[in-house]
Amino acid sequence: MASATQHNSAMMAVIDSGLGGFSVLRALLQRAPTLPVVYVADTAGFPYGKRTAGEITARAAGLVKTLQTRHSISHVVLACNTLSTLSLAALRKQFPAMQLIGTVPAIKVAAAQSQSKRFTLLATPNTAHSAYSRGLIAEFASNCMVDCYGAPNLARLCEASLLGDEVSDKAWRGEIAPCFFDDARGKTDSIILGCTHYPLVLEHLRAHAPWPVEWIDSSDAIARHALKDYSVTPGKSVAYVTDPNDVERYTPLFTAEGFAATATLNPAMLQ
């Protein structure tokens, strides 16, 4: 981050394509229970995993610009691995005065912890195959066998499950089975949760894993980083969705997380 300036009144924003950012949000509130948060679920753009980098960056830039017209915001947590790995650098150039905190795969942690030196990055297709992820592997895990799997539908299944929809055991198994290897190159002993949705359904992932592994979540590290130069002033939190049709369905979930209100950011403003 650019500086260690203390911000005493500006709020912190958390942006995700949907509810995945709750994993980072909960970590933030665990460390700073009175933190006021502006949360944006870009439900009109969900899922990000199959969108282009240009589309994702443009949507995120529009969200930040719109938030700046409504709130005093000093920090923005990009609580989405896909958004961060594809767009963080570009967004920092567009908003040089803003503290932008990304969420990126915990390759370094996995490499240090893995006993077999074989682990999998489980993520969306965009994150799993991004140049950013490849760079992290080259820098921190050159002595490991790292399998990268872009689960095509797992984020969508997570979002549906969090909203109360039924997800079959077969669907869960089909999304995570390709993460596990046991061959001449070693046995998978760790899975990096490379999408912020995944920690929220960890009980399902564990239940359908073919053998026990370490599940590595970076949420607390992101929260610690976001709060290290931030002075909390208590206040009310507000949540937004970008599809007006989602307000009614998402409001109970945001209320349960402590948000005072759920409203819409007009998709027409995302230019």
Q: What angle do CA 84, 86, 90 make, to 5 degrees?
A: 85
For the beta carbon of residue 44, count every other beta carbon within 10 angstroms. 18
Amino acid 197 reads: H
CATH number at residue 126: 3.40.50.1860
Same domain, yes or no: 252 and 158: no
Does residue 2 sit within a domain? no
Does one domain contain both 119 and 205?
A: yes
Question: Are residues 121 and 178 part of one domain?
Answer: yes
Q: Are residues 25 and 86 in the same domain?
A: yes
- Domain end among 217, 244, 259: 217
Residues 168 and 243 in one domain: no
3: in domain: no
1 within a domain of the structure (yes/no):
no
Burial class (CB in 10 A: 0-12, 13-18, 19+), 257: middle
Q: What pLDDT sits at residue 4?
A: 32
What's the confidence (pLDDT) of residue 5? 35
- pLDDT tens-place string over residues 216-259: 999 999 999 999 989 899 999 999 999 999 999 999 999 999 99
Select from 142, 216, 132, 128 the least CA-distant residue to 178. 128
pLDDT value at position 2?
31
Question: Where does the chain have alpha helices with state H?
Answer: 22-31, 53-70, 81-94, 107-113, 125-128, 131-140, 154-162, 169-176, 202-207, 219-227, 247-256
- Catalytic one among 80, 144, 148, 179? 80
Structure confidence at residue 50 (pLDDT): 78
Nearest to 79 by CA among 141, 18, 145: 18
Burial 51-74 (b: 16+ CB within 10 A, else e): bebeebbbbbbbbbebbeeeeebb
User: Which pLDDT belongs to residue 43?
Assistant: 96
Same domain, 131 and 81: no
pLDDT at 6: 37
Whether residue 197 is found in the same domain as residue 239: no
Same domain, 98 and 119: no
- What order of strands is seen across the sheet that includes strand 145-150? 145-150, 118-123, 190-194, 214-216
Q: Give the tens place of pLDDT for each residue, 28-41.
A: 999 999 999 999 99
For residue 45, give every residue at least 6 positions away whose Cβ sits within 8 Å of its Cβ, in sequence order, or none: 17, 51, 55, 56, 59, 242
State if pTM tops 0.85: yes
Residues 238 and 143 in one domain: no
Residue 148 is a catalytic residue: no
Provide the domain limits for residue 207: 107-217
Q: Which residues of the chain have pLDDT under 50?
A: 1-8, 268, 271
Q: Count of domains in the chain?
A: 2
The answer to the question of residue 226 being in a domain is yes
CB atoms within 10 A of CB 5: 11
